Amino acid sequence: MEMAMQSLKYLGMMFPLWLAISANAAPSIQSEPIQPIPKAVIKNPAMVELGKKLFFEPRLSKSGFISCNSCHNLSTGGSDNLSSSIGDHWQQGPIRSPSVLNSSMNVAQFWDGRAKSLQEQASGPIANPREMASNHVLALDVLRSIPAYVNEFNQVFGRKQITMQEVTQAIAAFEETLVTPDSRFDQWLKGNKKALNAQELRGYQTFKTAGCVACHNGPAVGGNSFQKMGLVAPYQTSNPAQGRAGVTGNDADRMAFKVPSLRNVALRAPYFHDAGAPTLEAAVSTMGKLQLGRAFNQQEIGDIVAFLHTLTGKQPQIVLPILPASSNNTPHPTPFN
């Protein structure tokens, strides 16, 4: 309760600053709680191209069926739009997959933040028995058995010896390019007053004045902090995930999850770590009650949802890679029924 009161007091102090900006005026980017997403800067095209192949490479899984893109589908907002991702032997994971789009802007990776970087995150699913269900030794054996991969790793890293360090570095390099700039909201931030209509502008003002921006701010509109799910009132769920407490062992971190980015949020229903909100309307209503102690009326919900739709940016236009052929020495997959 003390944490909730402190958070609400902080919001009360900040509201006058956010209210000072008129919705009808050209905004000052520096004074807004949200900033435009910068375009990706590709420093090593060859590494990015290798990472793209590995992102779509199903042979990194035990079954030869599951790739990174299976759960982080770049055609559907960087997630799988399922309440719980499907892994090896049709196992359901304990939590829904977060979007890989703009994930380079996250303070950490996974809902509980157990991976500090994209590179650290990339190694986890390969060896997770409920996801890709392989192991690092087997995954490397697969890559080392394919001459075209050996040559490509040699061209990118200057040696033919393939290690997991290089695999995850390449995947992370590709994922860093998966940003979605130039949304209509970004255009408005940059001074195009015609980019948003009246309802969308009302929604943004309500989003600010209600206090949503206390957690959903910055270029990614979130992703940069951990917050307790159910700050004002407990969140009721049957999902077993405990948030940061599972990483820190600190009971005070129970139900504290990484705040999701709201970029492209309209593309990836259902919502929350447990998929507890089937629609954006339901998510906005629940967040108002549990995080802000506020019951939004139907117009406010509709306005905020209209604003959230303006956060959909230009999606990465990915040309699917042609993966190199296996050799006679490539370990055979273990398919599941």
pLDDT tens figures, 234-287: 999 999 999 999 999 999 999 999 999 999 999 999 999 999 999 999 999 999
Mean pLDDT, residues 286-294: 97
- In the chain, CATH 1.10.760.10 sits at 45-177, 184-311
CATH class assigned to 184-311: mainly alpha
Binding residues for heme c: 68, 71-72, 212, 215-216, 287
Binding residues: 68, 71-72, 212, 215-216, 287
Give the closest residue to 315 by CA, choosing from 273, 263, 280, 269. Answer: 263
* Element (DSSP H or E) covering residue 60: none
Q: Where does 45-177 sit in CATH, by number?
A: 1.10.760.10
- Exposure letters 320-337 (e unless 16+ CB within 10 A, then b): ebebbebeeebeebeeee
Q: What is the DSSP letter of 134?
A: -
Per-residue pLDDT tens over the stretch 59-89: 999 999 999 999 999 999 999 999 989 999 9
Per-residue pLDDT tens over the stretch 95-125: 999 999 999 999 999 999 999 999 999 999 9
Distance of CA 253 to the CA centre of its chain: 21
Residue with tokens 């196992």: 91
Give the closest residue to 88 by CA, choosing from 147, 146, 138. Answer: 138
| Residue 160: per-residue pLDDT | 83
Position 188 pLDDT exceeds 90: yes
Give the closest residue to 188 by CA, choosing from 308, 281, 290, 310. Answer: 310
Lowest mean pLDDT among 51-65, 75-89, 169-183: 75-89
> Where in the sequence numbering do the catalytic residues fall?
131
Mean pLDDT, residues 205-220: 98
pTM score, two decimals?
0.90
